[in-house]
Structures are given as structure tokens and as C-alpha cells.
């Protein structure tokens, strides 16, 4: 056990921040950590947007329907980016048809998400707090317009970072035996019954956090989540295809 691992085991999403912006040195350090993340075939098929314009930050908060996005110390948008590599290839008279494949989108998205996780680890090691923002995908078409994203560039994740102004409890995670297997994926049966004790732990966690706002057990949340179909997210494939990705 060391401090890095301890920070990872103690990870908490922070959604309330002090009114203190990150310094340029802090931002640059986090970007440098991202730059040194492992990347598929050394293609480095991602980019990072720092959102410092208050109006644009407010628009992202509106898209995500989360006020704390506008109140964080710094906002990163992680981009799957094959545009830069497209230009390199075109300048060397190389065909770029492969960029329309799902493979090249997946590579770029994976690069961006791996870099995002390294930013999270570094931010927490610096005493900062952060939360990943899948909510930015609610209206990808609007983000493409707001940030003037060129062909083969799409947002995949946001990160709100700042000085924590809350200390939430550690959220309980799935038991090891329900998500860690050896050599083969087992036949899962009676999953809800197997998670009965975990359901009780999750329910108690939410009850202690806010007794006036009842939250269902984990398995109930999962089932209810299957019924939520956000109109913007249901069109993600169309928006990504519009940027030149996932044609085949």
C-alpha cells in the first residue's frame, strides 16, 4: 500500500467546489500527466479542451443539467481526435479512408478516456477533487458547434476539477466475486439475489447521505436506468458519424 493506491481506494466524486480557480501551473501539470498516458500505437489520438470562457462553461453546465460544472475550478473536455493524424497523413499523400472505421474511433476514444483517468489520479494526489462528466454527451451536436470541432473530433468525457467543498462518504462498490472472474466468464444466475446484501449496503449509504431523498437499491437503480432514453444520447451514433467516424 502506498499513497497513490490509497488515493485510488478512497476515490470520491466531488460535485461542490470552493470558489478558487486552478492556477496555470496546476492546469499545465494535469495536462502533462495526460500527455504521458499510454496511447494506442503511439498515435496519441486525443486532445484536451480547457474551458475558461464563462459563457461556454455555463452552456456545458446547461447541457449536462449540472450547475456545479459552471462552478468548478477548471473544466476539461476530453476529445477523441483523429483530425490531427488525418492532416499528417494527407500532407504526406496517404489515404485516410481508415479513419471512418469503428476501430479508429474506438482507439481515439480509449486514448482520451485513459488520459482522463490519469488526470483524475493526479488531481486527487494534488489535494484537488474532481468528477467525470458523462452528461456532456446529452447534446454532442451542440458541443461540436460551441467548440468548433472539425472533422474526426468528438467529445467523449468531461472532467470538473477544483478545491473540494464537501467530503462525501465512500460509495460502496460491487463485490469482487460478481465482477472479477478467472479465465472464463461464468454463467450468471439469480443476480439480484446474489446482490441482496450489496443492495442493503447501497440503500444504507444513500439513506445516511440524505434520509429525506430516498434512493433505491443498486439493482432497482440499474433496472430503472434501462428505461431512461435521453433524446440526445440516443443520437450519439448519428452525431459521431456526422464528424466522419464509424462509417463502417
16 & 104 share domain = yes
Question: Reduced to 3 states, what is the DSSP secondary structure of residue 47?
Answer: strand
Q: Which residue has the cell 490509497?
A: 6
74-81/129-133 β-pairing: unpaired
174 & 161 share domain = no
155 & 206 share domain = no
The answer to whether residue 8 sits within a structural domain is: yes
For residue 243, what is the DSSP state? T
Q: Which residue has the cell 489515404?
A: 95
Q: Which of 114, 135, 168 is the last residue of a domain?
A: 168
pLDDT digit of tens for each residue in the chain (248 aa)?
899 999 999 999 999 999 999 999 999 999 999 999 999 999 999 999 999 999 999 999 999 999 999 999 999 999 999 999 999 999 999 999 999 999 999 999 999 999 999 999 999 999 999 999 999 999 999 999 999 999 999 999 999 999 999 999 999 999 999 999 999 999 999 999 999 999 999 999 988 776 566 678 999 999 999 998 999 999 999 999 999 999 99
- Crossing angle (nearest 10°) for helices 102-125 and 24-35: 130
Query: Cell numbers at residue 179, please?
Result: 465482477
136 & 217 share domain = no
pLDDT value of position 189: 95
Tell me, rounded to whole angstroms, the distance of Cα 139 from its chain centroid: 15
The answer to whether residue 136 sits within a structural domain is: yes
Q: Which of 141, 168, 195 is the last residue of a domain?
A: 168
pLDDT value of position 212: 61
The answer to whether residue 132 sits within a structural domain is: yes
CA-closest candidate to residue 127, choices 159, 158, 167 = 167
Query: Cell numbers at residue 187, please?
Result: 454463467
35 & 79 share domain = yes
The answer to whether residue 209 sits within a structural domain is: yes
CATH of the domain at 127: 3.40.109.10
pLDDT value of position 230: 92
Q: Which domain holds residue 142?
A: 3-168
pLDDT value of position 172: 95
Strand partners, 161: 74, 130
Distance linking the first and last C-alpha atoms of the chain: 45
233 & 123 share domain = no
Cβ-contact 167, 97 below 8 angstroms: no
Q: Which of 168, 196, 231 is the last residue of a domain?
A: 168
176 & 156 share domain = no
The answer to whether residue 248 sits within a structural domain is: no
pLDDT value of position 207: 80
197 & 150 share domain = no
138 & 214 share domain = no
**Residues contacting 68, CB < 8 A, separation 6+:** 15, 16, 17, 61, 131, 160
44 & 160 share domain = yes
190 & 157 share domain = no
Report phi then psi at 48, rounded to 5: -125, 130
62 & 163 share domain = yes
What is the total count of domains within the chain? Answer: 2
The answer to whether residue 102 sits within a structural domain is: yes
Instruction: Give the DSSP per-residue string, 151-185.
Output: TTEEEEEEEEEE-BS--PPPPP---HHHH--SSS-
Q: Which residue has the cell 486527487?
A: 124
Cβ-contact 240, 141 below 8 angstroms: no
The answer to whether residue 160 sits within a structural domain is: yes
Other beta carbons within 10 angstroms of residue 23's beta carbon come to 11
Give pTM, 2 decimals.
0.95
Q: DSSP alpha helices (H): ranges in the chain?
A: 3-9, 24-35, 54-64, 68-71, 83-91, 102-125, 140-146, 176-179, 191-194, 196-209, 218-225, 236-242
Cβ-contact 46, 108 below 8 angstroms: yes
Amino acid at each position: 500500500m502506498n499513497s497513490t493506491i490509497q488515493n485510488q481506494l478512497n476515490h470520491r466524486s466531488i460535485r461542490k467546489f470552493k470558489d478558487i480557480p486552478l492556477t496555470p501551473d496546476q492546469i499545465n501539470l494535469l495536462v502533462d500527466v495526460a500527455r504521458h498516458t499510454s496511447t494506442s500505437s503511439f498515435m496519441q489520438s486525443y486532445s484536451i479542451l480547457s474551458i475558461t470562457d464563462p459563457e461556454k462553461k455555463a452552456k456545458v453546465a446547461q447541457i449536462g443539467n449540472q450547475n456545479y460544472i459552471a462552478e468548478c475550478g477548471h473544466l476539461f473536455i476530453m476529445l477523441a481526435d483523429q483530425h490531427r493524424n488525418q492532416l499528417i497523413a494527407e500532407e504526406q499523400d496517404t489515404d485516410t479512408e481508415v479513419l471512418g472505421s469503428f476501430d479508429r474511433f474506438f482507439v481515439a476514444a480509449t486514448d482520451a478516456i485513459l488520459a482522463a483517468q490519469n488526470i483524475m489520479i493526479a488531481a486527487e494526489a494534488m489535494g484537488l477533487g474532481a468528477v467525470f462528466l458523462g452528461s456532456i454527451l446529452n447534446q454532442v451536436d451542440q458541443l461540436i458547434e460551441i467548440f468548433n470541432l472539425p472533422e474526426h473530433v468528438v467529445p467523449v468525457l468531461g472532467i470538473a476539477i477544483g478545491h473540494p467543498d464537501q467530503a462525501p462518504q465512500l460509495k460502496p462498490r460491487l463485490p469482487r466475486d460478481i465482477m472479477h472472474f478467472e479465465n472464463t466468464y461464468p454463467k450468471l444466475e439469480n443476480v439480484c439475489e446474489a446482490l441482496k446484501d450489496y443492495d442493503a449496503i447501497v440503500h444504507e449509504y444513500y439513506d445516511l447521505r440524505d434520509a429525506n431523498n430516498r434512493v433505491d437499491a443498486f439493482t432497482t437503480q440499474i433496472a430503472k436506468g434501462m428505461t431512461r432514453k435521453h433524446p440526445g444520447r440516443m443520437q450519439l451514433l448519428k452525431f459521431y458519424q456526422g464528424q466522419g467516424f464509424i462509417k463502417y
